Chain A
């Protein structure tokens, strides 16, 4: 079978840093080819090269046997290569049909032909197995429906190769299942599918062949037959996965430090109750949009909220983050770049910002003390920076997370809430962060970990509370921690069925 698109020895460097090195793969018609790898392994860069968004530094592409250089994504699209982006890139105020044809409107006598576009939109959406109204504004659609509209927009042009970049990140298992139906349909029609993901069960369910990347290098390309998720994980990480998580500290006590009941955050959380104990790592699971982030932002006073919060038995209510910090509770946002660090300021300013009172004498800042604290943070948190004068925005994701941790730990908190602690963080740093979190619990502090990575919740936490649609759906104890039990609570799908979906045998 001839490949539609073949990459030979592709390398890509940004400045002196090589992010891809000598990658070869071929994408054949009627085949789903999965590319897996940890964050930062180079998956997205590879995808962007294959779809014409980036030029390789070295190596070549060939299209149906002929060498080719794409001048850009539009050129690639003319060859039938389309990319379904991970982020939703739609104009929210336009209708579904207007979005589908944005930039390629059908015209009649120089005016847009809404009727034809509406009919074609309806047809494509029906093919995808959905009956979204073409005239509805995108802002009124759920995230999953927006994803479908995005896929429909990609499939609008004649296509021979469709690339999906982590398409299920925002989907429930049921929605993911219908996406797999669409992908299988594409495969039947002889389209080559490139599927990028780090959800291994999904890959097992949908892919025909798997290419594994690690640190920008090609590790293996295997047929899916006989390749189990555990082996994929081993190939991705390059060592035994079980060592990623430290031993759970046996410090979880029965001593309740924080008790939250009937917490409501208008628009996001209807009602949530839970207890956090001393020395405990408490996980919060659930789908994106379940209200986990908003619940904790409400608790620490970053959002309007109401409900009962008892800290060490005393009733409290925080009006802003400052009050929560004074009470010993810190919240580390999942949005590190937007809400965690001042990207345009240097490390010293970022480090001391939350605990500035500790560095002031008669309201004047003691720069020497700040420098000393920065020395300590660089050492204690292993922040790797080529210069102390760098701006926070110039650090890698992992080092930004370490800096954010160092910044909040300067407040000497008793309760640390970390939202997506390892998003956009490389595997080595992940391990360090996990060890650090375990160390906090060992020292008698209490940690809440909000995470969309189920493995992280299972590997790290003593207990996991699962949220669904703004409510606490249930709690999974340490002995019962498994993907199935979390998925079941997160989706409300019957357990066996959830297990099937999770395993991909839908």
Chain B
């Protein structure tokens, strides 16, 4: 008798956890249906591919943010870091002057190296300075942003070599077997991220650190290394996003990457990753990023709300997502 009671209890719990992991996917389907009802053009292949392509930057950055947040941290500097990385990359390409693949490769290495170094800086200050990540990355957000303004002298940094632009163009506008390159990039990043977070001891250590830092420390987890590495991964993801972003406009401005941190963190939270750490869901994050872009797309296609209010709607979404998370948590 007791046995039956206990068994159903366990099954119920399992079912609820599944619900929690599934909810971003359900939200995605609901939004897609809503979009189709509002505008018949919505469900065309070209519109869908367009939406997913546009979500690629945020999705790639948000995969990195999933590591940081699952490990109990936070990185607000990603938008500014992206702008700085894009600016420095373009300046490097301009000064190299060449129009061949090797020039491009050097520029890309500089971009990845710089963003990884920015992440390393964030990680070292958080870890060894023992300062709240919120404060540290708020500070570096300001530093990175003003550095790009200074480099651009308040204006725009543009790729000057048109041959190089043509060479680089396919990285955003090209496609392989009909799938746009940015989508491939973001799926590959997400797959590698999922592999690292779910299947490696480092990923396990990240989750342990976010669950309870003391337990991790008492269990011999190298917490300083693990924490710093999450910020470096975040930096590398920003770098990859920049590689896909630069060929789109071929320029960086002081407003590049503005509010990307809001969108990346929103994507992570919608995806079901706990903001207090200890739970990380890479695929949820990816879906979260697509949902954000989908909402913007629906707003453009419909005439209910001005598209200038996209930021307001996205801001509202993160608050609603947190409220949902809290009520699900309470219901357990």
Q: What chain B residues lie within 8 Å of A386 (beta carbons)?
A: 6-7, 10
Contacts A16-B5, A320-B217 hold; do A343 and B201 have CB atoms under 8 A apart? Answer: no
**Is A321 a contact of B201 with CB atoms below 8 Å?**
no
Q: What chain B residues lie within 8 Å of A340 (beta carbons)?
A: 215, 218
The reply to whether the CB of B14 lies closer than 8 angstroms to some CB of chain A is yes
Apart from A321-B218, A386-B7, what 15 extra A-B contacts exist at CB < 8 Å?
A322-B220, A335-B214, A340-B218, A341-B215, A342-B208, A342-B278, A343-B211, A344-B211, A345-B207, A345-B211, A345-B278, A353-B208, A356-B204, A363-B201, A365-B200
The reply to whether the CB of A14 lies closer than 8 angstroms to some CB of chain B is no
Q: How far is the CB of A364 from chain B (nearest CB, A)?
A: 5
Of residues 381 to 421 in A, which have CB atoms within 8 Å of B's CB atoms? 386-387, 389-390, 407
Contacts A321-B218, A333-B218, A356-B205 hold; do A342 and B212 have CB atoms under 8 A apart? Answer: yes
From the candidates B205, B220, B278, B279, name the one contacting A320 in the complex (CB within 8 A). B220
**Is B217 a contact of A302 with CB atoms below 8 Å?**
yes
The complex places the Cα of A349 from the Cα of B211 at a distance, in Å, of 11
Residue of A nearest to B218 (CB): A339
Q: What chain A residues lie within 8 Å of B278 (beta carbons)?
A: 342, 344-345
From the candidates A320, A324, A339, A363, name the one contacting B215 in the complex (CB within 8 A). A339
The reply to whether the CB of A110 lies closer than 8 angstroms to some CB of chain B is no
- For the complex of A and B, list the 8 residue pairs with the smallest distance between their C-beta atoms, beginning with the closest: A322-B220, A354-B219, A342-B211, A321-B220, A339-B214, A356-B201, A387-B10, A339-B218
Q: What chain B residues lie within 8 Å of A302 (beta carbons)?
A: 217-218
A 340-367 binary contact with B (CB < 8 Å = 1; else 0)? 1111110001001110110110011100
Q: How far is the CB of B329 from chain A (nearest CB, A)?
A: 11
Q: What chain A residues lie within 8 Å of B10 (beta carbons)?
A: 386-387, 389-390
The reply to whether the CB of A325 lies closer than 8 angstroms to some CB of chain B is yes
The complex places the Cα of A324 from the Cα of B219 at a distance, in Å, of 11
The reply to whether the CB of B2 lies closer than 8 angstroms to some CB of chain A is yes
> A: which residues have CB within 8 A of B?
16, 302, 320-322, 324-325, 331, 333, 335, 338-345, 349, 352-354, 356-357, 359-360, 363-365, 386-387, 389-390, 407
30 contacts between A and B (CB under 8 A): A16-B5, A302-B217, A302-B218, A320-B220, A321-B217, A321-B219, A331-B218, A338-B214, A338-B215, A339-B212, A339-B215, A339-B218, A340-B218, A341-B215, A342-B212, A343-B211, A344-B211, A345-B211, A345-B278, A349-B204, A352-B204, A353-B204, A353-B216, A353-B221, A354-B219, A359-B201, A360-B200, A364-B200, A387-B6, A389-B10
Q: What chain B residues lie within 8 Å of A344 (beta carbons)?
A: 211-212, 278-279
Q: How far is the CB of B281 from chain A (nearest CB, A)?
A: 14
Residue of A nearest to B278 (CB): A344
The complex places the Cα of A345 from the Cα of B277 at a distance, in Å, of 12
Q: What chain A residues lie within 8 Å of B14 (beta carbons)?
A: 389
B 1-21 binary contact with A (CB < 8 Å = 1; else 0)? 010011100100010000000
The reply to whether the CB of B202 lies closer than 8 angstroms to some CB of chain A is yes
B 192-215 binary contact with A (CB < 8 Å = 1; else 0)? 000000011110110110011011
**Is B220 a contact of A364 with CB atoms below 8 Å?**
no
The complex places the Cα of A407 from the Cα of B218 at a distance, in Å, of 12
The reply to whether the CB of B222 lies closer than 8 angstroms to some CB of chain A is yes
Q: What chain B residues lie within 8 Å of A324 (beta carbons)?
A: 220
**Is B214 a contact of A353 with CB atoms below 8 Å?**
no
Q: What chain B residues lie within 8 Å of A407 (beta carbons)?
A: 219
The complex places the Cα of A302 from the Cα of B208 at a distance, in Å, of 17
From the candidates B5, B7, B219, name the one contacting A353 in the complex (CB within 8 A). B219
Of residues 160 to 214 in B, which have CB atoms within 8 Å of A's CB atoms? 199-202, 204-205, 207-208, 211-212, 214
Q: What chain A residues lie within 8 Å of B208 (beta carbons)?
A: 342, 345, 349, 353
**Is A322 a contact of B222 with CB atoms below 8 Å?**
yes
Q: What chain A residues lie within 8 Å of B218 (beta carbons)?
A: 302, 321, 331, 333, 339-340
> B: which residues have CB within 8 A of A?
2, 5-7, 10, 14, 199-202, 204-205, 207-208, 211-212, 214-222, 278-279
The complex places the Cα of A422 from the Cα of B278 at a distance, in Å, of 28
The complex places the Cα of A230 from the Cα of B10 at a distance, in Å, of 43
The complex places the Cα of A352 from the Cα of B216 at a distance, in Å, of 12
Q: How far is the CB of A411 from chain B (nearest CB, A)?
A: 8
Q: How far is the CB of B61 from chain A (nearest CB, A)?
A: 25
Q: How far is the CB of A172 from chain B (nearest CB, A)?
A: 29
Q: What chain B residues lie within 8 Å of A345 (beta carbons)?
A: 207-208, 211, 278
The complex places the Cα of A333 from the Cα of B5 at a distance, in Å, of 34
**Is A363 a contact of B2 with CB atoms below 8 Å?**
no
**Is A342 a contact of B215 with CB atoms below 8 Å?**
yes
Residue of B nearest to A411 (CB): B220
Q: How far is the CB of A207 from chain B (nearest CB, A)?
A: 37
Q: How far is the CB of A294 from chain B (nearest CB, A)?
A: 14
Q: What chain A residues lie within 8 Å of B222 (beta carbons)?
A: 320, 322
Residue of A nearest to B274 (CB): A344
Q: What chain A residues lie within 8 Å of B217 (beta carbons)?
A: 302, 320-321, 339
Q: What chain B residues lie within 8 Å of A389 (beta carbons)?
A: 10, 14
**Is B201 a contact of A357 with CB atoms below 8 Å?**
yes
Residue of B nearest to A335 (CB): B214
Q: How far is the CB of B307 from chain A (nearest CB, A)?
A: 40
From the candidates B199, B211, B214, B220, name the one contacting A354 in the complex (CB within 8 A). B220
Q: How far is the CB of B330 from chain A (nearest CB, A)?
A: 15
Q: What chain B residues lie within 8 Å of A387 (beta carbons)?
A: 6, 10
The complex places the Cα of A385 from the Cα of B332 at a distance, in Å, of 19
The complex places the Cα of A322 from the Cα of B205 at a distance, in Å, of 13
**Is A365 a contact of B204 with CB atoms below 8 Å?**
yes
Q: What chain B residues lie within 8 Å of A16 (beta carbons)?
A: 2, 5
Q: How far is the CB of B185 from chain A (nearest CB, A)?
A: 23
Residue of A nearest to B279 (CB): A344
Q: What chain A residues lie within 8 Å of B200 (beta carbons)?
A: 360, 363-365
The complex places the Cα of A325 from the Cα of B217 at a distance, in Å, of 12
The complex places the Cα of A341 from the Cα of B279 at a distance, in Å, of 16
The complex places the Cα of A354 from the Cα of B215 at a distance, in Å, of 10
Q: What chain B residues lie within 8 Å of A322 (beta carbons)?
A: 220-222
The complex places the Cα of A312 from the Cα of B220 at a distance, in Å, of 22
Residue of B nearest to A408 (CB): B219
Residue of B nearest to A364 (CB): B199
Q: What chain A residues lie within 8 Å of B211 (beta carbons)?
A: 342-345
Q: How far is the CB of B59 from chain A (nearest CB, A)?
A: 24
The complex places the Cα of A364 from the Cα of B208 at a distance, in Å, of 16
The complex places the Cα of A341 from the Cα of B219 at a distance, in Å, of 9
Q: How far is the CB of B232 from chain A (nearest CB, A)?
A: 16
The complex places the Cα of A477 from the Cα of B207 at a distance, in Å, of 45
Q: How far is the CB of A418 from chain B (nearest CB, A)?
A: 13
Q: What chain A residues lie within 8 Å of B6 (beta carbons)?
A: 386-387
Contacts A320-B222, A389-B14 hold; do A365 and B215 have CB atoms under 8 A apart? Answer: no
The complex places the Cα of A363 from the Cα of B221 at a distance, in Å, of 14
The complex places the Cα of A341 from the Cα of B204 at a distance, in Å, of 14
The complex places the Cα of A2 from the Cα of B7 at a distance, in Å, of 48
**Is A338 a contact of B212 with CB atoms below 8 Å?**
yes
Q: What chain A residues lie within 8 Å of B212 (beta carbons)?
A: 338-339, 342-344
Q: What chain A residues lie within 8 Å of B2 (beta carbons)?
A: 16
Q: What chain B residues lie within 8 Å of A338 (beta carbons)?
A: 212, 214-215
The complex places the Cα of A321 from the Cα of B213 at a distance, in Å, of 13
Residue of B nearest to A353 (CB): B219
